[in-house]
Chains A and B, each alone.
Chain A
């Protein structure tokens, strides 16, 4: 008889801080954890975890309450992302990137798009994947080559993408497109497309070292869409990307990665405490103790950076809005890049250290009682997702234009100070 789901009946409540619904988050995480091994071994989409997330109402985490969602913000995304990421990083990334798309839809979608799509998301019937990668544009987020075609009430979308995280099973897509055939590659609009509005072709397998359950293979999308599904943000796509898509995206990834590292440490600690496994894993000499402490430092650093960033970002949004020049400052850009770089490196380092700690007979082993080698392979992708090299180069150059070397929120106070 299959055992009951630990997340049976879990339903998150709007109006109650997510921090006070941690037990339910832990139940969803436990459900994700139950299937993570099989998801990885078979390279399968984490269907059970995603079904639990749908039923629990978490797909609507960032959907405003007026559209039936939980009305959460980036700080809630941190809580949810690290919980689910701790159980299954593939599910964590699919979920958090979905939330990133929701933040964009809720912040920039036309009234009709918001009122039609957001309630569907909140009720759990739509998870949205991000389609930003494209052959031949060199990995640049704020550029697109494939043009939208057609004019009048409908537009024609035809788009190839080499990597779409969670794309194979998504119910909707948020796609970057060149505005039209005459536009420059940096003149980008976003288009929301429901899966049943598109011909979806999966191209190329997703046979990868880790995050195998994300099923992020290449895709071809084609379809005709009403023009109100086009998101043409004031200030252009680069402003939308810089003030919402990238910040929320980096919070999304960092949360899931941090969760994976936390989950790994939790499993190692539990094994070291378990009387039946202890002899193999614990000779609590000073070297072992120091390694555990180092892992904890890596995790604590990411936790602190991530929660601080999410809090400061929400403070800017709350006090000055999305149009605030603070969100266009070099200091904000650098901090946003650094969150991604630091979280990806430190989360991986933490698990690498745990593999070292538990050795060939423990963490390095496949199919053993510790899932460290899976976490290790999963987290190896972190530095590659929007490659750290690119972000470091950008931040290093930007630093020359941020001579004050102050946290970005400091500028918020300066902005509000009386002249």
Chain B
């Protein structure tokens, strides 16, 4: 269905805590025709990278946010169909037919919180305010406003959509309606009568009283870091900022302790070799070591609920399910994401292998949904593919632990045969680490968890799935 009225495409709410997103790629240009649900753009948030489908069929009439820009949830990104005039105010959303516009209005009203029930559409009484809640102020109006200490939103506007024109603000100034606003309260207690140095804190952005003249500087610009010779500066992606914030917060929150254990994976290696052909021909899936480890981990977590738990305020949360997260590196190496398999305790080895392959593929293809990354209860990270044999991963908050799996290598190992005689054998060995939050999990508890996990892997029977 093509549309006569323009339909807004807004920055979607990709999870409750997500407040902004970055446009990574526009799949269509202005003037292109698009079908409903066809991919219009790709976005990156601190939770997921995903494609945004078009809410309607029609011609892309406007693209309002360019690639690389980061905007708040609810910001109008583009318009489909309708008039091509950028100046025209969007028509008031019709609840029955314009869910996208309605969401935009609701999101703009409600700020960053997701609203399960769409709010009534914004009143059309103030068409000058676009979806981001900010009225456009032209450069000359901004300058005159700053010179006279006027809030432009207090000036009656006669321009397009109620915009304040230069004439409006000049008339406002000449009418004497502009009252200089009270200066900001002094930051320091009584300044010394002599010429004291200015307070260390930067001045607030309070409007300058008109009496102060026009030379007063506006708020000091934020210093931009400057690269030295040979350095290159690039802005952080939304995902990188999210990772940076999360890692720092996790280390500030949990008391990280890491324990390691050596596991003889020889039986798993043998069983995997047998299952590989069958799994691949019958199901098209590779029974990876990670699937075995995940399967054994879920079983072991049943006996160690605090490792699968959470500290929530003064309460200890335990669960009768495991939402098992997997750290997935993105294809471009520029980030990682931790989707989780819901109710992993219900999956057998085949289900686990399929589930892991599915979320890993969708993570790399930017097809994850917010649900995929929300609600994890325990995480496995697998840096062993590169040969590392030890690490101290950071816990994905608010979980209580993270399992690290490392390279499987053949090593000489002392084993005891059935007669109690020791011998040196060549075994496929792997290190596992459990990094746990010592606020909740003690060392002995963690040690027993690792021991039981090792026993499960070493004692894997062909009939265990």
A, B: real partners: no
